[in-house]
Amino acid sequence: MDSASRKTYLPLDPMSFTKSKPVIDFIADYYKNIEEYPIQNRVEPGYLSVKLPESASYCPDSLEDILKDNNNCIVPGLTHWQSPNFFGYFHANASTAGFLGEMLCLGFNVVGFNWISSPAATELESLVLDWMCQMLKLPPSFLFSGTGGGALHGSISESAVCTLVAARDKALKELGGWENITKLVVYASDQTHFTFQKDDIKSGLVPLFLCATIGTTACGAVDPIAEFGQVAIEYKLWLHIDAAYAGSAWICPEFRHYLDGVELANSHPYEST
């Protein structure tokens, strides 16, 4: 590493940002040519350890070298999720607005533990979630401006854990204590988000959580929400409506009827991409 490299891209040096355009160009070129890449490259496990050093560099590499390594080492081992030819799991969901938003978030780099840690982050989260609920025409019980509210998570899996914990604690409080935790059981179809385990009704188990899905990842299937809601009411179940894959589609008036019965739900996560 030469002396020039030692002075390149100092931590949080504002002047460095003006030299970062090659990164934008690299990403733009990637998207221009994304359809030319095979969806899943046929690299062997461990391929990257052969291409990269055994230990981290003592000094920063130049941006030119970093982008060259990305092109020669990283891109060949990518599964190109954003390609229009990719049909596994989730559809292509990147956007220019998304990129710019991520840049702003990383630039501010705040930690939104609570309101005082960054008031703007907390209040913006609440407002944006209410905007989304209004676009979906959800009942007031889902809005901060009503009697509910929500939270942004890093993934649907995180939101599933959060709602399961809430449902568990509610049920254990009603049952009288933690000694009943092994009796609780979750019900879901075989198309539900992979986070959920599938359990059959067994003697002595206590129904806890019913997971309905509108727009399954595998085939876009939709559960009858209103019917599920009546079952949840009868057995005092927490009704969770998973819309990770297709939830944003319900903004369109022609698809909104699939959400009929959502007012019976306790939680309703979706990805707004």
**Pick from 31, 23, 3, 24: nearest CA to 69:** 23
Residue 57 tokens read as 């560099």
Distance CA 267, CA 255 (A): 20
Per-residue pLDDT, 65: 93
Is 152 within 8 Å of 125 (Cβ atoms)?
Answer: yes
Q: For 20-53, how does the pLDDT look when each residue is reduced to its tens digit (9 = 90+)?
A: 889 999 999 999 999 999 998 889 999 999 999 9
Q: For 209-223, how does the pLDDT look when each residue is reduced to its tens digit (9 = 90+)?
A: 999 988 887 788 889
**Three-state SS across 162-209?**
HHHHHHHHHHHHHHCCHHHHHHEEEEECCCCCCCCCCCCCCCCCEEEE
- The model's pTM is 0.78
Task: Profile the chain (273 residues) by mean pLDDT over runs of 10 residues.
Answer: 52 76 93 92 92 87 92 94 86 83 91 92 93 91 87 86 92 88 82 54 77 84 90 90 84 91 91 69
Four-CA torsion 149, 269, 129, 231, nearest 10 degrees: -40
**Pick from 204, 205, 225, 203: nearest CA to 214:** 225
Q: Residue length, the chain?
A: 273
Per-residue pLDDT, 202: 56
Per-residue pLDDT, 1: 44
Is 168 within 8 Å of 184 (Cβ atoms)?
Answer: yes
